[in-house]
A and B are shown apart, each in its own frame.
Chain A
């Protein structure tokens, strides 16, 4: 076996999965027309798999802010936050994030992925414990691995499973960081944060919540699940990203703990990479300001989410347990999911397809995410496409014949 055989086996796996048909992974988006429309495969499609929750990628204010920063500060910072890459605008964005969350401080990272790597690897180390929900995002797993801490998992969204593991840790709980997500990215279900916070208190450990998919989506002011559940005071660290509701790229952490500032000095994913470009920082600041000043975007997002979830459920698709802007249909096999995905593209609708081993419990998912920028007519188009493919998907046993009871966590 030579070095590159490892990669070559991937090409066989890929062949076996795709049978020479079109590949849903990394599909070329030939032209983007708006937050909700693009040209793919030569035809105009409705985008329903972009995590662009507030639809701000084409907001004129955000675009103008990016233009201005580009002209004023150049195309890139060409350096780390710890060297020449901390511009006034990075510090302003940190101040605005801290203020938005009502926290002492914030740190901006170059990606949401790097925010998880950077925070987790700075907070825990060898001899400590990272206790994570089994369905956590890859960036959380990778951050744990980078840290050298012992990685323990508890069953997805199962406080009893968490409690058992905390109980077994004994005094080590003082050196334990629990990590969960606000809204889980695959099925759109929320963490059971009240119960998790209760356990965290009882066992005396620390808690980090990744609000990547819940910033701008949940909570009275759009701060996320901690705000929605009134648990913010017990969440030690919040992590998030600019790449979803804020339409940019970059990540952050906020916390009331004074130790957050020290993360800058011990976090390799913060130190050893260039800081976000000034134009991205500028559009992100404008997007954050819009998130705060236009709560109607959140209302529109939820109207769209309820409309899509309700309709797909009515059609008999098996969905995630909670209504949310992430609406995922569970199929029985990868082939069914791929067939549905291809059918949707042919009907003019782009969504995501997610297959094992990247999915929880080996599920095959066709995952939509809705946006505040979708018109009701666009949501109806998405529904019609799913309706048109219903027979095909069900003949391939992708649908339950009976309405399945809301599944507890798999």
Chain B
């Protein structure tokens, strides 16, 4: 079972290419405000993330996710359920 930190690190691999140069990523990074992701880009990243963690992330659950850390927590919760 991957830890929160592991998951977060692996999420950064997907998020880093989308961040403006110089933006440091951490758990508090706001996906929309800091990374400037629109909702369609975010759900497209979710497709990659789902394959990476072998987990399905319902779009409904994403409405509560604002930061990278919240996404990591969500994925950790979903992998535990499986």
Contact = CB atoms under 8 A, between A and B. Distances in A.
Interface of A: 129, 134, 144-145, 148, 150-155, 161, 164-165, 168-169, 356-357, 361-362
Contact of A151 (B51, B55, B58, B82): B58
B60 A168 contact: no
A165 B56 CA distance: 7
Contacts of B38: 356-357
25 contacts: A129-B58, A134-B43, A134-B47, A144-B59, A145-B60, A148-B60, A150-B58, A150-B61, A151-B59, A151-B60, A152-B56, A153-B46, A153-B59, A155-B47, A161-B47, A161-B51, A164-B51, A165-B50, A168-B56, A168-B82, A169-B56, A356-B38, A357-B40, A362-B40, A362-B41
Contact of B60 (A150, A356, A362): A150
B64 to A, nearest CB: 14
Nearest to A165: B56
Nearest to B57: A152
Nearest to A152: B56
B26 interface: no
A164 B54 CA distance: 8
A155 B51 CA distance: 11
A201 to B, nearest CB: 21
Given A168-B82, A357-B38, A153 B55 contact: no
A150 B46 CA distance: 15
B66 interface: no
A153 B40 contact: no
Give the 5 A-B CB pairs with smallest separation, nearest first. A150-B58, A151-B59, A357-B40, A357-B38, A152-B56
B59 A152 contact: yes
B39 interface: yes
Interface in B29-49: 38-41, 43-44, 46-47
Contacts, number: 43
A161 B38 CA distance: 23
Interface residues of B, number: 19
B31 to A, nearest CB: 15
Given A168-B54, A169-B56, A153 B43 contact: yes
B40 A356 contact: yes
Contacts of A165: 50, 56
Contacts of B51: 161, 164
Given A168-B82, A357-B38, A357-B39, A134 B60 contact: no
Given A151-B59, A357-B39, 14 more contacts: A129-B58, A145-B60, A150-B61, A152-B56, A152-B58, A153-B59, A154-B47, A155-B47, A164-B54, A165-B56, A168-B82, A357-B38, A361-B44, A362-B40
Contacts of A144: 59
Q: Which of A144, A151, A361 has the most CB of B within 10 A?
A: A151
A151 B51 CA distance: 16
Contacts of A168: 54-56, 82
Nearest to B50: A165
Q: Which of B40, B41, B43 has the most CB of A within 10 A?
A: B40
Contacts of A151: 58-60
A115 B55 CA distance: 31
B61 to A, nearest CB: 8
Contacts of B56: 152, 165, 168-169
Interface string B10-33: 000000000000000000000000
A153 B57 CA distance: 9
B44 A134 contact: yes
A153 B56 CA distance: 9
A298 B39 CA distance: 38
Nearest to A170: B82
